[in-house]
Amino acid sequence: QVQLVESGGGLVQAGDSLRLSCAASERTFSPNAMGWFRQAPGKERDFVSVITRSGFFSKYADSVEGRFTISRDNAKNTVYLQMNSLKPEDTAVYYCAAGNYGSSASTYSYWGQGTQVTVSS
């Protein structure tokens, strides 16, 4: 069973940057797309960003457009989420997912365990 392992979360101040990483446990794993979702306390899990296997296509939630950048290194089977100009409302557990291209959680078959991002004001 493929595992997705996120890293890079932490506690930062508003305006700071963080880079999240998500590595797949098997090098032969090659999903059509990899994405990021986030879930704040008491809220539903929301789409953040997704990127295709080729890296040619990506999509962002309106709330992070222009501040976050998704990328992937297929040689390392890793996807990244560069988060700049962080805001307190970005505070959430961030989950990596692998599956098909889309913004709905139902399109993804594999999920990581999540990494906490906390942004203080």
CA distance 69 to 56: 13
Q: What DSSP string describes 48-64?
A: EEEEESSSS-EEE-TTT
CA distance 108 to 50: 11
CA distance 111 to 71: 17
pLDDT at 1: 86
With a cut of 90, say whether residue 103 has pLDDT above it. yes
Secondary structure of residue 118 in the 3-state scheme: strand
Q: What is the pLDDT of residues 61-84, one digit of tens each?
A: 999 999 999 999 988 999 999 999
User: CB burial class (10 A; 0-12, 13-18, 19+) of residue 115?
Assistant: buried
* pLDDT category of residue 107 using cuts at 50, 70 and 90: very high
Helix or strand (DSSP H, E) at 51? strand 45-52
CA distance 102 to 96: 13
Percent of the chain scored above 90 by pLDDT? Answer: 92
Q: Share the mean pLDDT of the chain.
A: 96
pLDDT at 3: 95
pLDDT at 28: 85
With a cut of 90, say whether residue 60 has pLDDT above it. yes
With a cut of 90, say whether residue 104 has pLDDT above it. yes
* pLDDT category of residue 36 using cuts at 50, 70 and 90: very high
Residue that the structure tokens 């990127």 belong to: 51
